[in-house]
Structure formats: C-alpha cells, structure tokens
Structure 1
Amino acid sequence: MRKIFVFLFLSFFGFAQAQELNCSVTFNTDQVTATNQQVFKTLKKSLTEFVNNRKWSDQTYKGAEKIECSFFFTITTYDADQFTGTLQVQASRPVYNSTYMSPILNINDKDINFGYTEFQNLAFDQNSFDSNLLSIMAFYSNLIIGVDADTFALEGGSKSLENALNIANVAQQSQIKGWSQSDKNQNRYFLINDMLSPAFVAFRKTMYEYHLKALDKMADNPKEAKENIKIALKTLSQIAETRPNAYLTRVFFDAKADEILSIYTDGPKVDVTEVINALNKLSPTNSSKWGKISY
C-alpha cells in the first residue's frame, strides 16, 4: 500500500532498491563535560550508517519510500567509554494526496546506557547480544518499520514487530535496564510484548483505521475522514475498557495528540461531542488540548 503514496515521486528518484529507513541521529551533550567531543561525531556518523545502510526486512523499498525517522540522544553522563542518557525515537509517514507527514511514533526511552569505544566495529547479530547500543538501535529500527507497515495494511508489520520481539528477548539475558519485565511496565519489553499481544490487538487496528481509512481520505473528503477518526478512537477505547491507562494508549497519544487537536480545530465542522468524550477518557493528561476543540 505504501507504494501508492509515493508513485509520483518515484519518477524523479528512479527505481533503484534502497533500505527501509531515512534516519537522522543526533546527540545532545550539553550535560557532559567530556573533553573528547569528537567521539560523539564519530558515533553519530557510525549509527546513521548502521541504521540507514542495513536491510532490516525482506521488503523492497524504493528511494522515495524510505521511512522518515530520527534518534535523538541526550547524554547525561560519559565516563571511561560508558554512556547514559535518554533517547527520543520519532517516525512519520506520508499522507495520501498531501505533503503532510503524520507522526506515527514519538517514544522517550529513559533507560539508555551503553559502552562505546571510538571507531569500534558496529557488527550486529539479532540472535546474540553483544552491544546494548546496537540492540537498542536495531529494536527501534524494526519497531518503526513494523508500525509504519501497520498503517498501510491491517497488521501488515507483524514480521518486523516479531523481529523486534526477538531482539528484546535476546537482550533480556543481559539483565541491562530497559529490557526486563521486572524493571517497570513501560519499557522496551512491555512495548513490544503489548504490541503483539492479543489483549492489545485494538492498538494495531486503530493505527490502520486512523491512517489508511481516515487521514489518507482527508484531502478528498475531510468530513468523512473526521468521522472515520471517530471510528478509530472507538477501536482504541476497547483497550481502555479492560486496561485503563495502558502503555500503548499513551504511545498512541504521545504521537497523535497535537495532530488530533489540529484536525478537529481546522477544516469543515463535524459533531465533536463524542470525540471529546472519548479523548478525555482515553487521554486525560491531554485534557487541556481537548478543551480547545470547539463543539
């Protein structure tokens, strides 16, 4: 389905095969006083090549089909080749018949810690655990591809999400924070396990309904698109009925809250009573935003 949305661009970029991701990697080192800032430049270059030059799936992506994403590291400590900090992972996908890129992921991972020596070889095998940094990068690369595919076809990203699950399962053996089910209920382990759990199947269905059946109709029929977003929110509500405050519900709104606000405060008016009620139940932490939606 993704090919439909980029067909017009391919005439300009050609039909050469390309990898899946067009990723930017950034390091914020304001909180560290390391004298060797060059190591961050080297690491940025190496990680950018690691993500963008690797073939992560068996799907063929053309140049203009690459998924736009970013990895933003904030390093809080750096000592003797050991790094700790946080990582903001963001990804977006194109909306049909528009120049708009819709955010599909916006995850703040607070459990980032890894060892790295400048110029070390970044070799990765998803069936073994050798580097926490590479496992994290590979995990999120597969997650991005899987979530993106889910927005074009119902559960279309299963294979990539299963790859992410395998990486998480192998990394668990390291007992490094961020991978274990005993750490907390909002880390990488729970993120991928929930996405593939039958108990949370409504999340993936919501991603499909929201994007392919709603956003991608926005240019041609904005009223219908807004009505279809209501349907997608009803689907997401199935999770809240049995698991209020679920991690995946938060994941959805971390990416979509601003976009939903923009959709319902612009363009043709529709009845938003039901939408506002659903939004306040699903994401009360964003109630100030929902309050800006006019009836």
Structure 2
Amino acid sequence: MHRVFFVITFVAFFVSGYAQELNCNLVVNAQKTGNENVQVFRTLERQLTEFVNNTTWTNKDFKPQERINCSMIITIADYDTDVFQASIQVQSSRPVFNSTYSTPVYNFNDRNFTFQYLEFQNLVFNPNQYESNLVSVLTYHIYMILGMDADTFQLNGGDEYFKQAQTILNYSQQENFKGWKLEDGTQSRFVLIDNLMSPTFEQFREVMYNYHRNGLDVMYENPKKGKQEIATAIGTLEKLHNKRPNSFLMRVFFDAKSDEIEEIFSDGPNVNITNVVSSLNRIAPTYASKWRNISY
C-alpha cells in the first residue's frame, strides 16, 4: 500500500500557545463559475490556508511530525456578490506505525455548503457562538478530523472533539443553511455526528480503534495477525449493519477505506476471507466491484 493521501482543512481564530494540529492543503476550485481567475477566489484560498495552518484547535501539544495531514477542496458552483454556492470534499489520513504508509481516516463530500464571504473579511471562530456558515462548516469538519483521528489511537479518544462538533451543529441550526438539521437528508452533517454520538453506534468507534491500533499498526511485526484483526473489525461492522442497515456512518467509513481493504485482502499472508467478502458485500454493496477483486 503506497498511496499518498492528502488532506485539506480550514481554520478559525482560537487558542494560541500550543503547536498547530493540522497540516493543511486547501484548494478553492472556481472553474464551474467560468471566472476562476477572479481575485476573490485566490484571496479566499490564501486566507483559509493561513486560517488552518496557523490556528490551534486543542490544548494538546502536537509535535510537527504529529500534525494531521488533511485536505479540503472547495468547489464553487456559483456566486453572486458575496454569496457562494459550493461543495466541500474533506479528507484526512494518519501514518501507520513503523511504515511509510498513510491510511485514510475521514472522507466526506459535503454538498450543502452555501456561505457569505467578503474579500479580506476577518474569519473568527467562537467555540460557543455562531459567527458564519463558512466558519461553522469548516470548524465542524476540523473537529470531525480531530475526533476520528483520536479514535484510531485510543478507544473513544475523540469524545471531546465530537462534542465540540456537536456544539457547532447545535448553534448553527439557528440559521437557514442546509446540512445542520434532521430534515436536511440522510447524508448530512447532522446525521453524521448524531450517529457517532449515539450509543447505538458505539461498536463503530470500537472498530475504528481495533482496525487501526490492533490491525494496521501491528502489520509491520505480524502481518497475518493484523489482517485477522481487520477481518474481525469488518465482522463487527456487519453486526452493526444488521441493527442499523444502510447508515451514513458506514458509508463514510467505506468511502475512506474501500481501496485499502481491497489491497489488504488481496496481498500478503493468507487468512480465511470468505466471511470477510460476504460481510463486505452485505454492508457495502456499492463497492462490490472492489470486493470481486479480492482473491481467496
């Protein structure tokens, strides 16, 4: 597995005194507008890049090599003066122990992203108060990145970050922007954090920990054991799927992990993967073409 996974992220003014947590590659793509060379798009990209990389989001001390690689690609579909219609693709990854490989952790294509922006305006984040939809959407995803990453290193390690994402969601519901409320569809920011914080989905967070710490992180020393742990994690996902079929949380997981899972079970030491493939076809049929490539 030699893919390089990038990450793009956004920032708001918060706390100083600790090392920044994110290593951000941010792109504002305005080709769909037919006016991608308009200065405001370049200014927006530059401000948001600084906003992410120069902001501290937690009270943890991150060493430079510990910063989370992430990416956010904002695609502008249309704009009128200071109102922008867009989508944002958010991805993050984390290194696998004793290897040069980075594993994808978070992958969310957020299609409900309308915001107001005036060139050179101050971007301010208040953890307990609404400022703008631009800031709310970006900071929501930042805390999702932090929470998902922390869950891969420690069981339920992302609690404090998910709670902040939920706080952002709660105070952003006062406005009329989409993605923050139950009625905004089954693949929204609301649904994602609601799933993660629900006791019904507590097994998902166990999977995030076991898949990474007991699976990927031991493969340098014992590849077969690592593969078996990942197979067990997939079995746990099937049990969760049986209780709550077709959950958005499962969709986000496989959007990030499908390529990796295909590679893991198509190479290396042999394990009994008949049940694994059966489980994958049940819980993620969208990726059936990838599961067919797994040889066993």
Q: TM-score, normalised by structure 1?
A: 0.92
- Does the CA contact (< 8 Å) of 1:17 and 1:63 recur in 2? no
Map 1:264-275 → 2, pairs under 5 A: 264-275=265-276
For structure 2, the 5+ residue unaligned runs are 1-16
Number of residue pairs aligned between Structure 1 and Structure 2: 280
Give yes or no for contact 2:130–2:136 (8 Å, CA) kept in 1.
yes
1:129 touches 1:174 (CA, 8 Å); kept in 2? Answer: no
Displacement, 1:130?
2.0
Q: Which moved more, 1:126-135 or 1:31-40?
A: 31-40
Match of 2:176 in 1: 175
Partner SS state of residue 182, structure 2: coil
Q: CA deviation at 1:35?
A: 7.2
Using the TM superposition, name which of 24-33 and 246-255 deviates more: 24-33
- Provide the C-alpha distance between the structure 2 equivalents of 1:31 and 1:208, rounded to a whole number of angstroms: 39
After TM superposition, the structure 1 stretch with the greater mean CA deviation from structure 2, 88-97 or 230-239, is 230-239
SS of 2:261 mapped into structure 1: helix
Q: Within 2, Cα distance between the matches of 1:198 and 1:38?
A: 47
1:287 alignment partner in structure 2: 288
Identity of aligned residues (%): 48
Tell me how far 1:18 sits from its aligned partner: 1.4
| RMSD (Å) for aligned C-alpha atoms | 1.3
Residue 158 of structure 2 aligns with an amino acid whose one-letter code is G
Are 1:79 and 2:47 counterparts? no
* Higher mean displacement: 231-240 or 142-151: 231-240
| Offset, 1:17 | 4.8
Structure 2 Cα separation of the partners of residues 61 and 95 of structure 1: 17
Once the two structures are TM-superposed, the CA of residue 220 in structure 1 deviates from its matched residue by 1.1
Distance 1:187 1:35, change over 3 A: closer
1:69–1:91 Cα contact (<8 Å) kept:
yes
Change (3 A) 1:268 1:35: closer
> Quick check: 1:76–1:84 contact (8 Å CA) kept in 2?
yes
**Partner residue in 1 for 2:146:** 145
Q: How far apart, CA to CA, are the structure 1 residues paired with 2:50 and 2:56?
A: 11
Partner of 1:13: none
> 1:58 maps to what in 2?
59
Distance 1:36 1:291, change over 3 A: closer
Q: Per the alignment, in what secondary structure is the counterpart of residue 31 of structure 2?
A: coil
Q: Which moved more, 1:28-37 or 1:219-228?
A: 28-37
Q: Rate the CA distance shift 1:292–1:124 in 2: closer, same or farther, 3 A.
A: same
Distance in 2 between the 1:189 and 1:276 partners?
31
Map of 1:4 onto structure 2: none
Note the C-alpha offset of 1:45. Answer: 1.3
The TM-score, its normalising length taken from structure 2, stands at 0.92
Preserved CA contact (<8 Å) 1:89 1:107: yes
The answer to which of 235-244 and 110-119 deviates more is 235-244
